[in-house]
Structure 1
Amino acid sequence: MYNKELTKGTLQPIILKLISQRDKMYGYEITQEVKKLTLGKIDISEGALYPILHKLEAKGVLETEKVYIGKRVRKYYSVTKAGKQAVVEISQEINNFIETLNLIFNPNPVVK
């Protein structure tokens, strides 16, 4: 599992991208899918997940739907129209950031 400080800045883009690839997702489902896709290397706690979801909802990037399952309520999150554009932008930014990190951590050798 990666250090929490290392992954902290990427959780919002990860969550947004994952939800955008589905029709809708609920909190626990998001945490389990991230864990599965990363082979357990990224583990998002509820304490980290829900503030991000609420922030994205407040920005109008996500919307929610409450579904009653017996006596329980499950809150599903889906990407809004504005959120779809945000996913494109954040994906480009993340990919550019990865390329920049590669310049530092995996520099190409200079051929003479």
Structure 2
Amino acid sequence: MKKQQQLYKGSLNAVIMRLLEQNGRMYGYEITQKVKELTVGEMNLTEGALYPALHKLESEGFLDVELERVDGRIRKYYKLTESGVKETNHLIEELDNFIKNMQSIVNLKLT
């Protein structure tokens, strides 16, 4: 399973940004749980991987942060900026091409 986690790491930004695109805004724990749910537990997104990625995307101007008080605690919600939406489309397109290319290689028939 360790090697699989390395494969997922390369697509982490695309995963985060696609989820935010689909859901409008989310907080960190919610993102980790959604990834687990969508991949039926195959992809375990740790806080140690998630938060540095979120902070980097925020510093690059792709995410906005909204603070909201929930049950007496401050919760950080992340949402895409306008440039974040464009970057998401770009990343998904790149990932889609990568997947198609990998399928072509993996499914090669020996003639």
Same fold (TM over 0.5): yes
Q: 1:40-63, CA deviations, whole angstroms, 9 ceiling, x for partnerless residues?
A: 010100000000000000010000
Deviates more, 1:68-77 or 1:21-30: 68-77
User: How far does residue 108 in structure 1 lie from its aligned partner after superposition?
Assistant: 5.4
Q: Which residue of 1 aligns with 2:23?
A: 22
User: How far does residue 70 in structure 1 lie from its aligned partner after superposition?
Assistant: 3.5
1:90 aligned onto 2:76: no
Where does the alignment leave 5 or more consecutive residues of structure 1 unmatched? none
Aligned residue pairs total 110
Cα distance in 2 for residues equivalent to 1:108 and 1:87: 34
Q: Which residue of 1 aligns with 2:82?
A: 81
- RMSD after superposition: 1.4
Give the TM-score normalised by the residue count of structure 2. 0.92
Instruction: Tell me which amino acid in the other structure corresponds to 1:103.
Output: S
Cα distance in 1 for residues equivalent to 2:102 and 2:24: 32
Instruction: Tell me which amino acid in the other structure corresponds to 2:99.
Output: I
Aligned-pair identity in percent equals 44
Where does the alignment leave 5 or more consecutive residues of structure 2 unmatched? none
Q: Which residue of 2 aligns with 1:39?
A: 40
Give SS of 1:52's match: helix
Deviates more, 1:69-78 or 1:27-36: 69-78
Q: After TM superposition, where is structure 1 displaced by more than 4 Å over at least 4 residues in a row?
A: none
Cα distance in 1 for residues equivalent to 2:74 and 2:39: 28
User: How far does residue 107 in structure 1 lie from its aligned partner after superposition?
Assistant: 2.2
